[in-house]
Each structure stands twice: as structure tokens, then as C-alpha cells.
Structure 1
Amino acid sequence: MKKQLIIPESSVYDNLKRSAKEYGSLCAVDYFGREISYRELIREVNRCACALIAIGVNRGDVVSVCLPNVPQAVYLLYAINKLGAVADMIDPYSSEKDIRERIVKSGSRYLFALESISEKLENAISSADIKLAVTAAVSDEMPIVMKTGHLIKNFGKKKQKSSFMDWNGFISKASPTDRYISAHSTGETTAAYVSEEDNSQSICVSNKNFNDFAMYCLEECGNIDKADRVLAVLPVSHGFGIGTCIHSVFSVGGTAVILPNFNNNDIDKAIIRYCPNVIAGDSRMYKALADSSGLDGKDISFIKTAIMTGSGFEDTLKKDIRELLRANGSVCSICRIVSLTEYIGKNQE
């Protein structure tokens, strides 16, 4: 049975704040085994908001977030929303040209980017009106043992000189409404920050639409509950990734298991390692799963929901996925979710 969920009209940040109060000690984010509780998450979001104020971010400013699925991207998403600024979510693996055009068209004044791509973004920020650029590394928020191993592995590698501030330098500046998020989404939209070579589009999403989309996802699935683990492999730069796998999960006290570098062919390994109760993806991910033998003989009874989005889901693929899951102990429900663009198109404010 689908749940009837009602979320009070509030900002995206206020919705997270409500969850932090209700689910404080529960795990909100699992990042390579490091569990970040709701209480810790809201504290980091608030600290990030203070640092944003310190560098000069004001209400209405556009802040580009060019990061993969790392905790810093989550902190920034909600912190920017708290300030009434625009979080312009950009896929860090896009071409230099697409990123540059996206930044220029959005009118962004601040850029947060993945450390490993900072060199290719030097030209982008020189041609845009960027006031400050900050880099964040995938290792910044790793568990201490993994982070240490990562640092040892990269010890001695010469870093390129960069005009970017690093994440630690940025966050150390912390002392302590109609808000918006701009995210990629497939489908038709009237909004605008996209290069001609990009087949996805950037849409401006109000607090109400974003919160409503999260509730729609929960209602369609019907059985995502408090403390459920959701494998959040879809990029946070896309509306479905942040709306379904992050924001809707936080709304019910679930855990978003985030991975910064994900290959569809590794979906079976991720399922076995992280034991998610919910998996979500597009047809490419599910085709890779159907073609894999990695789950053969494994007990995956912990999976209770499989969420599908986008095109390409022929009846044969859905049948293959259902049979694969059932053959390994998962009697789960399979639900289809429309894209963020489609949802907003059907539910205009």
C-alpha cells in the first residue's frame, strides 16, 4: 500500500532540520563506511552555511557545485538553500566546455569543484565572473583509516599550483524564503542553463516543488521507512539523484549510501558490500545488473524496493530484474518514478 505523506510547506533546509530533530542519532549518510548521523549532518550543514556567509555568499547568489556524490556536496546543497542562494548542481565529469558554459550562463559567483579536475577548470573560472573557487577531495570525508591509506598512496605526488582554496581552508571560515536548487534533469523544460551539446537540462526548482517531488517518490514506492539504507549512486548533479536518493530518504530518516565514483558494472558489488534495502537507477544500471552474474548464489533478501527512472525499461528488462532478485531471496516491489522535469511539468505551482 502506498503511503499518504504530508510535508509541511517549508524550505529544503527546514525539511532536513525537521528530520535532524526527529531522527538525530540515526545514520543519514554512509560514506565508505563512515556513518554520519542526522545530528552531525545538520551540524555540518550549518557550519558550511556559516563559511558561505564568511566568503560573501548572499541571498540570490548562484553557487556552482561541481562535485560527485561526496558528503561535501550534500552539505553545500542544504547550506546554500538555507541562505536563500541558488545551488547550481553540475556534473563534474562533464566536458570542460560544458562546465564553462554552464557557469557563465548561470551567472555563478562561487564554484566548488572536485580537486582532481581543478586544473581543467582554471580556464572556466578565468572566463566567468567567479569571485572564489574552492576544491574538495573525495578523501576529505573518508573514514580516518581509509583517508590515511589514500594519503599514503598519493604521498609524493606533485600537486599543480591552483588558484582554488581547499575545502579545509573554506570550512575553517565558519563562525554561524524562496530558496532554489538548480539541477540537471532529462525531459522538456522552459528553464535554461545548458549548453547545446548537453541532452539534459538545468531547471530551477522551488522549495515546494522539490519537497513535493521527494514526497511523490516516497508515496510511489510506498515502503521506504526509517533507517532503511538506500544505495544513492545516481549523481547529485541530477534531479532524480538528489530528489529521490537523498532528499526523500532524509525526509523519513533513512540512510543515503553515497559513492563518488560509480560504474554501472559495479552495481552487484555495491549491493553485496552495502546491503541496501532500496536500489534506484536508470535502465543502463539495471541492464548491467541483469547481465551480471555477481549476485548468483548471494542472499539479497534485504532488498525490498527497486526504483526505476528514465526510458528504456522494456517489459523484458523489468521481468529479468524481478526474476534475478527473486532467485536470490528478494521479493521486492518494483516502482517507476518520473523525472523531476516531468513531475514539475505535471504539477506546476
Structure 2
Amino acid sequence: MSTSISGFVNEFEIPPLTMNESLAAMVQERPDEKSLSYYGKDFSYTELQSKIDICTRALLACGVREGDVLALCLPNLPAAVIAFYAANRLGCICNMIHPLSPPRLVGKHLEETNSSFLFIADIAVNKLRPLLEELKETRKMKDIIVCGMADDAPGWKRPFFKIQLRKSKPEKDLLTGLTPWNRFLKKAESVSKIPARSKDHRSVCAYLHSGGTTSEPKTIMLSDYNFNAIAYQGNQLLGYPLSEPAPYGKSMITVLPLFHGFGLCIGMHTCLINDIKVYLLPRFSAKAVADLFKKNKANYICGVPTLYEALSKADEMQEADLSCLEAAFCGGDSLTPELKDRFDKFLAGHGSKSKLREGYGLTETVTVCSVMPGEFAERNGIGLPLANIKMKIIDSESRETLPANEIGEICVSGPTTMLGYLNDEEATSHAIVSHEDGLDWVETGDIGYKDEEGFFHFKGRLKRTLKVSGIPVFPKEIEELISSLEQVRYVAAIGIPHPYKMTVVKAFVVAHEGTDLKELEKDILRLCETSLIAHAVPQEIEFRDSLPQTLVGKIDVKVLEAEEAEALSGK
């Protein structure tokens, strides 16, 4: 194996296994180790495998067959993990849907994927009423399984979930025709044999939903091979050589949602096949995270920038001993140098020797493509490509590879490349393009550069590049600069119409409590005027108490753009 400057291997052989087979191999290797924990209730690998076996037989009893599409519209519950691997064992496709999606969007995802089974959480039943009534009336679903938040929780936690459910307890008429999770599992008693799947590890195993490389909603088809290309090098990212056995006793806080590639691949699958205990959290809570550090000495955490911002400010984290934390990874959105510096100091002040390490990825490649290696963790940037993955920067018009430090479009090639967009060959052909080197490259729609040492840096979305009087302006550059002011908590920059410049920059800013906003506005303008080209200096600054976020915690600039457009049309 050749190695990169980080000491990582550049390539390795990816085992020809399905995701369930990969998990089963770890069950055989370490049957008594703890695989999963849900609010303190632990599951050994043997216990998890037993539940997967039961779920698999229950699916067969319900008429599920290889190739069927099962929609998992669930938060981070043990049932979501169990159902995913059971479906994978049968050669089914898991359609991963955000559990907080509105009924119309869930219905759209079901229709487009031809899903025949739906798994939902009990707390979502009332919210999905219009859809559930339609599905029951039209019989579009063979079965709808309701998973309780308390189903696999320890006894002490169940009353809390019951109180929570009482606030939105579904009417009996709505529950009629739906199958509770535990009743569903009992159907397994009628099935004794589980047939082997005929589909290989390179066939579709999951549908994930994303904005695509052009910011248009897409359903992305991924295979077991795609997921395993990342999962089998998980320990290398944590500082352990691939040639050595997985260490014992490590654990990950999995608060990133499993419907997202980051949570599904890194937070669940990578951990489980590398004997890293998964602490499942169905929703972010600073107290719950703090407790996992204080009581359980969790070793790893992955999150988006807003999660780390919230943790650093949370009262519950101020007395936390983080000496157990060995690695913290950030992805899903751009990490500003200011936030990284501030969180690194927070970690050091709480006893951790680790630093926040940024990665880069997109759903078209499952999740992470590159990450900053541990020995370079003090650096800013998205690091180096993972093993078996190639990255380059091109001119988006000529497709020529650009030299070091020149900004262009980020391209990725490797075994994590999606199988394509569902029912959209044209969009697939625009996203995955064969270049002169003979390789198929994902043209990501993201812009960045590669420095002279080989490290990659993310600058923003190609679609977010603004043209001010014909001059390219990068919102991320503006956001990073304004974020460097200690009074600033969050910032988003967008383009707004201008009578002769066509577009100018407007900045939305959330300041820390107690900040003098008039003085801060002066500081922002002074900093921008001395650090940016004139075209990039915000012409408007709006202070807000909060900024809209997407379902995965990113600042939602589309909402801000829509609000501006609506305000303009009303004038």
C-alpha cells in the first residue's frame, strides 16, 4: 500500500460485501461487545443481530421481497438501524426520508421511489395525518409501521416519551390500519427461513434525497459498495492503521440524522463495522451530548458547524470534562476559521487534545470525500482525499485541471460515486462526466482550490457565486471574514437586485447577546472595506435574532433569498 503525506494509505481493497454482511462479520468477530446504545440501554452485537434477524423474518411475513423499496421516515432510533440492515439483508432498497418533512414532501418521495412499505415514528403520526389518510384510502402502502420513541428505551426514559407523545397523541381512527413496531416484529414467528439475496454489493441499496450538484432536488441511488468504500477506512481516519485490528472500547455520539449520508454512513455504518459503539440521539440536545461525555466518556463526535457553535455556548457543556474526546469532525456546511479557532480553544480548555477537523463531501459520493488528517488538525481547510478517492480543481468551462492556488470547480472520482439520479439520466450525465484522463468525475458544483502542499480548500457553491457589475463575488469569503469578528455568531451573505450593478451583497448577521449593533455594523463595514474588493462589500446589513436553517442544520440561504424577493415584489 502506498501512503500519502498524511500517512494514510492511498488505496486498499474494498471487501465485496453487502452492508449487512459487513455488520455480520463484526458480530462474528466481537459478539459480546456493545454495538448500540439508546439513552443508556445497550445492545451487544449479538443482541443487535438477533433483532435484525427478527425484523428480517417479520418483513418476509409481511410480503416484502428482494427489490422492494422500504421508506424509513424515522429519527435516530434503534428501529431505524434494525430495519435498515434487515432490508439490506433481503436485497431491498431503503428510501431515507427526513422525519420532519411535511406530508406533501413525504408523499412525493414515496411516489417517486415506488415505495411499498413505510416506517414512521409515533410522534409524527398526527403531523402526517393528510398523507396517512390518503395512503390508507388508496392502499398505496402494503403496510405502515409505527415505531415508538420509547420502544427500545430503558424503563426510566419511557415516561418522558409518553409525556411527549401525550401532547400530540394521534386519534384512534388515525391509528386504525397502522401496525405498531412490536406487533410487526411478532409476525416473524410465522417465518423460519431467510432466503439469500441475489443482488450483489454493487446494486442499489439506498435512496437519499439531496439538492443535487445544481441545487435542484434529486433522489440519489447508492450501493453497498459506495458505503463500504468509506466505512472500511473509518479507523484510518481516527488514527489507527488499516492493517491493524479495530481497537476495543471506542464510541461515537451519533446525533447527525440517519436519513442523511453523513449520519447513515459515518454515524451508523462506519462505526458498527469497526466496533465503535454508537450512542444514538434522536434529536440534538446539548444536555444529552454533555451527559454522554460526562458519564459515558464518548470518544468521537461528528456534526455540522451550528452543532459546534451550540455546544460551545451551552451551559451544560461549560463544566464538561472532554479529555475522553479523541476526534471531532465537522462537515455538511463550511466551517469558518473563526469558529474552528474558537472551538479548538474550547476543547483545549476542557481537557481534550483533539482539534475540530473539517471534511468535505456530498450525497452524490455518499458523504465525506476528504478530511483534514489528525496530524494537521490545526490547519484550516477540507484536507486530503480519502483512500481510493481522487480530487482535482478544474476550470468549469474548459474542464482543464487548474494549478495550485487557482480557484475552480471541485471534482471527485472514486468508488463512492453514486449510481446516478433516480429516473433522471440527463441530470446524471451532467453530474458524472468522463474527462480526458478516462475517469468518470463528479462535477460537484462547488468551488475551491488545492494549495501547493496538496491540501484542498472549499470556497462555496458555484451556484452561489454572485456577479456584481460582472465581477465574481464569493459569499463564503464574505461570511468567513465577518465571522472573524468576535461579536458575530452567525452570518449569511446573499445577492440582492440593484438598478445598475444588477446585484449587490446583503449580509444577515446574528450577534452575540449584549452587542452594540450600531458599533458592530461600523466594524463590519470597516473590516470588509479593508479586506475585500469593493464589489464584495455588503451594501446592506440586517441584524436578526436567528437565521433559517435547512433540515440538516445548514443556514438556509434560499429562504433568505425568497424573503428578499417577496419583500421586493411587495414594494
Separation in structure 2 between the aligned mates of residue 319 and residue 78 of structure 1, nearest angstrom: 39
Aligned to 1:180: 205
* Amino acid aligned to 2:329: I
Residue 246 of structure 1 pairs with residue 257 of structure 2: no
Who is 1:115 aligned against? 122
Shift of 1:3: 5.7
Distance 1:147 1:226, change over 3 A: same
Change (3 A) 1:97 1:169: same
Per the alignment, do residues 199 and 166 of structure 1 end up closer, same or farther by CA in structure 2, a change over 3 Å counting? Answer: farther
What secondary structure sits across from 2:65 in the alignment? Answer: coil
Is 1:165 the counterpart of 2:172 in the alignment?
no
Determine the structure 2 residue equivalent to 1:66: 73
Helix, strand or coil: the match of 2:88?
helix
Aligned residue number for residue 38 of structure 2: 31
> Share of identical aligned residues, percent?
27
Q: Is the 8 A contact 1:185 1:239 kept in 2?
A: no
The correspondence for 1:261, drawn from 266, 283, 286, is 283
Superposed CA deviations along residues 59-118 of structure 1, whole A, max 9, x for unmatched, are: 111100111001000001100011111111111111122111111111111001011222
Change (3 A) 1:154 1:76: closer
Matched residues in 2 for 1:65 and 1:39: separation? Answer: 23
2:155 is matched with which residue: 124, 128, 144? 144
Preserved contact between residue 92 and residue 113 of structure 1 (Cα < 8 Å): yes
1:55 aligned residue (53, 62, 86): 62
Shift of 1:6: 5.2
- The alignment covers a number of residue pairs equal to 341
Give TM-score, length-normalised by structure 1: 0.88
Distance in 1 separating the partners of 2:130 and 2:89: 30
Mark the CA change 1:30 to 1:102 in structure 2 (over 3 Å): closer, same or farther.
Answer: same
Does residue 210 (structure 1) correspond to residue 227 (structure 2)? The answer is: yes
Q: Indicate how the Cα distance of structure 1 residues 187 and 225 shifts in structure 2: closer, same or farther if over 3 A, else same.
A: farther
In structure 2, the residue matched to 1:16 is 23
Whether the aligned pair in 2 keeps the contact of 1:82 and 1:179 (CA below 8 Å) is no
Say yes or no: does 1:346 pair with 2:413: yes
Query: 1:213·1:340 contact (CA, 8 Å) conserved in 2?
Result: no
Cross-structure match for 1:302: 324
Q: Which has the higher strand share?
A: 2
Encode CA deviations 1:239-276: one digit per residue, 9 max, x unaligned: 11010011110121110000113246864455435431
Equivalent residue, structure 2, for 1:43:
50
Q: Match for residue 192 of structure 1?
A: none
Q: How far is the alpha carbon of 1:9 from its aligned partner?
A: 1.4
2:547 is aligned to none
Structure that is richer in helix per residue: 1
Q: Which residue identity lines up with residue 70 of structure 1 in the other structure?
A: L
Unaligned runs of 5+ in 1: 190-197
Match of 1:92 in 2: 99
Amino acid at match of 2:330: M
Aligned with 2:348 (options 326, 339, 342) = 326
Asked whether the equivalents of residues 184 and 239 of structure 1 are also in contact (C-alpha less than 8 Å), the reply is no
Amino acid at match of 1:172: K
Is residue 290 from structure 1 mapped to residue 312 from structure 2 by the alignment?
A: yes
SS at match of 1:142: coil
Deviation at 1:119, TM superposition (A): 3.1
How far, CA to CA, are the matches of 2:337 and 2:166 in structure 1? 50
Q: Retained in 2: the 8 A contact 1:186–1:339?
A: no
CA contact (8 A) 2:205 2:223 kept: yes
**Compared with structure 1, are the counterparts of its residues 342 and 181 closer, same or farther at alpha carbon in structure 2 (3 Å cutoff)?**
closer
Aligned-pair CA distance for 1:219: 3.0
What one-letter code is carried by the residue in structure 2 that aligns with 1:59?
Answer: E
* Alpha-carbon distance, 1:22 to partner: 1.0
Q: 1:187 to 1:144 in 2, by over 3 A?
A: same
Root mean square deviation, CA, Å? 2.8
Give the secondary structure class of the aligned counterpart of 2:52: helix
8 A contact 2:231–2:266 mirrored in 1: yes
The secondary structure found in structure 1 opposite 2:253 is strand
Distance 1:210 1:156, change over 3 A: closer
